[in-house]
Amino acid sequence: MKILVLGEHAHGKVKDSTLATLGAAAKLGGDTDLLLIGSEAQGAADDAKSIGGVAKVLVAADAGLDHELAESVAPLLHRLMEGYDVLLASSTTTGRNIAPRVAALLDVAQVSDIIAVEGPDTFQRPIYAGNAIATVRSKDAKKVITVRGTAFTKAERGAGSAAVETVDAGVSNGVTSFVSAEASESERPELTSAKIIVSGGRALGSSEQFHALIDPLADKLGAAVGASRAAVDAGYAPNDYQVGQTGKIVAPELYVAVGISGAIQHLAGMKDSKVIVAINKDEEAPIFQIADVGLVGDLFKLVPELTEKL
Amino acid sequence: MKVLVAVKRVIDYNVKPRVKMDGTGVDLANVKMSMNPFDEIAVEEAIRLKEKAGATEIVVVSVGPQKAQETIRTALAMGADRGILVQTDDEVEPLAVAKILAKIVEEEQPQVVLLGKQAIDDDSSQVGQMLGALTGYGQGTFASKVEINGDSAHVTREVDGGLETVAIKLPAIVTTDLRLNDPRYPSLPNIMKAKSKPLSTKAPADYGVDTAPRLETLKVAEPAKRQGGAKVGSVDELVAKLKSLGVVA
């Protein structure tokens, strides 16, 4: 079996989400090549070639592939897939944008967001916001799969020595162009790869209180900051903080839910965390049904106290 | 400018799904069904394009059972003009839905196709992108803002780490994210009016699309149950507990 992994990179480094996707490739078994795209791909190839389990690093260093527009990347993947049996992409917004476009070009079904590999064509994936786990078998000759990063062990750097090869990008995209990007600034760890996450909900009441309470606790723990959909919709936190079915799926060692009731859509994004702590004034809140440690009380008193005592 | 909107009838998002004892799927008998929440946002955006940007007609499509008519009627009551139900009792995978939609796009020639970013039942998030591949149109996925300027659409997308804006030449495909808008509720008079709006019924075979599944579902199981732990009485106890669990130093 020949596997192609669509790599994502930034600042000369392969992203953690891609390392996890390579972990899924290792479970599948077979020769795995990693594709890096964009004008900075050559720089990231130095990092990529030392990653364990990578047979070859393919570099398509064309500026036309910057910003990873699906209309530019999908035809390239479609062409490269002539030589591969499986395409793996991460379940990031990039992977989820590009992979289905490739699947349709190949006329195959896509298996989205797998959490386990049961065999060369059999996978587990969550459906209904994680309330059910489906085991599916793909009957297509070629497979296109996106991988939930938090479900797989990351491939290790320094465990490999892959050859680097350039491939022709052949970009022709007459329909879309990049206009601008607005990054939300954060010096904290990235949400999906953080070991500890402190997440705030609607009970915080305002953006000021969200930052006044959640940020110091997160800084004390070296944690990333997350938020429930209610907190994001109320404008207390930016969109990309959102943890849940419609936001990010996380599975840190420790998840601290502050003022979050625990709606299904939120639980779908964090219930695989190792230890869950909930602080909420409503002792009937559903979050307490899954929390390992619960503390009932006024978060405006408890959170500063917790920050101080840690 | 014509706008095509795809809607799906799914389990209501407030209902906790129950896995069938025999492991064949989720029990949908006698369960409340509604329009997929992301599709409501797509319908709302289509109506706003009509109100502001001069869209002339909104066509709503659904692929599903006879009862998906109700979902189309809801969209008509919100303000869409005409419905097409592609009726089938089989479960249709995203690729086949995209193929049916591609045929309808060819027939109807819309300038904008709006879909939800994912359905909350299969959580696939594929149809819009696949439709992009089949039509060759540009795709603005996970949209939180859509602006039509002449012959192109500026779509602001919610991506990991922030926002990104792309320009897409019309005709374009847009899939909606949560923050694009707040869908309106249909008023009673509009619900009554929607009953007389045209709704045609077709079959997948009318579009020459084979809906045979490419994925075989071997089993559907409940996720491993998480046992809630004890509650503690004070912050000191909480800190002690966290230390004993080894998650904080």
Q: What does pLDDT average to over chain B?
A: 95
Q: Please report which residue ranges of A196-291 form alpha helices under DSSP H.
A: 207-221, 229-233, 264-270, 287-290
| pLDDT value of position B72 | 98
According to DSSP, residue A149 is labeled: G
| pLDDT value of position A170 | 87
Q: Is B157 on the interface with A (CB under 8 A)?
A: yes
- What is the pLDDT confidence band of residue B54, given thresholds at 50, 70 and 90? confident
| pLDDT value of position B217 | 97
pTM over cut 0.90: yes
Which residue out of A71, A117, A270 would a mutagenesis test of the B interface target, given it has the greatest number of B Cβ atoms within 10 Å?
Answer: A71
A13-35 mean pLDDT: 96
**Is the per-residue pLDDT at B118 higher than 90?**
yes
Q: What does pLDDT average to over chain A?
A: 95
What six digits make up the tokens of A233? 């919709």
Nearest to A176 among B166, B177, B247 (CB): B166
ipTM over 0.85: yes
**What's the sign of the alpha-carbon dihedral B182, B31, B64, B94?**
positive
B1-10 mean pLDDT: 97
**Is the per-residue pLDDT at B75 higher than 90?**
yes
| pLDDT value of position B226 | 82
| pLDDT value of position A291 | 95
A139·B229 Cβ contact <8 A: no
Nearest to A239 among B11, B131, B158 (CB): B158
Least confident of A92-96, A231-235, A246-250: A246-250
- What is the pLDDT confidence band of residue A187, given thresholds at 50, 70 and 90? confident
Residues 6+ apart with CB under 8 A from A284: none
| pLDDT value of position B241 | 92
pLDDT (tens digit, 9 = 90+) per residue, B203-218? 999 999 999 999 999 9
CA distances from A201 to A59, A111, A241, A243 (A): 42, 32, 11, 10
Residues of B in contact with A129 (CB under 8 A): 17, 120, 123
B105-131 mean pLDDT: 97
- What is the pLDDT confidence band of residue A185, given thresholds at 50, 70 and 90? confident
Q: Which residue of B has its CA nearest to A8?
A: B160
B182-200 mean pLDDT: 96
Distance, in Å, from the CA atom of B28 to the CA atom of B91, rounded to the nearest integer, reads 13
CA distances from A207 to A232, B112, B232 (A): 10, 36, 28
| pLDDT value of position A228 | 96
How many residue pairs from chains A and B have C-beta atoms closer than 8 A? 254
Q: Is A254 on the interface with B (CB under 8 A)?
A: yes
A187-213 mean pLDDT: 93
Distance, in Å, from the CA atom of A11 to the CA atom of A89, rounded to the nearest integer, reads 20
Structural contact between residues A199 and A255, judged by C-beta atoms closer than 8 angstroms: yes
pLDDT (tens digit, 9 = 90+) per residue, A258-295? 999 999 889 999 999 999 999 999 999 999 999 999 99
A238-258 mean pLDDT: 92
| pLDDT value of position A186 | 74
A122-149 mean pLDDT: 96
Q: Which residue of B has its CA nearest to A280?
A: B231
Q: How far is B28 from chain A (nearest CA, A)?
A: 12
CA-wise closest residue to B146 among B47, B36, B7, B8: B47
| pLDDT value of position A192 | 85
**Is the per-residue pLDDT at B46 higher than 90?**
yes
Structural contact between residues B163 and B178, judged by C-beta atoms closer than 8 angstroms: no
According to DSSP, residue B170 is labeled: S
- What is the pLDDT confidence band of residue A193, given thresholds at 50, 70 and 90? confident
B14-23 mean pLDDT: 93
Distance, in Å, from the CA atom of B127 to the CA atom of B99, rounded to the nearest integer, reads 9
Residues of B in contact with A310 (CB under 8 A): 239, 248
Which residue out of B34, B101, B156, B178 would a mutagenesis test of the A interface target, given it has the greatest number of A Cβ atoms within 10 Å?
Answer: B178
Share of chain A above pLDDT 90, in %: 90
Residues of A in contact with B173 (CB under 8 A): none
Residues 6+ apart with CB under 8 A from B87: B64, B65, B66, B68, B201, B202, B203
Distance, in Å, from the CA atom of A60 to the CA atom of A298, rounded to the nearest integer, reads 54
**Is the per-residue pLDDT at B228 higher than 80?**
no
Peptide bond into A286 cis (omega under 30): no
Q: Which residue of B has its CA nearest to A192?
A: B160
- What is the pLDDT confidence band of residue B188, given thresholds at 50, 70 and 90? very high
Least confident of A101-110, A238-247, A291-300, B125-134: A238-247
B121-145 mean pLDDT: 97
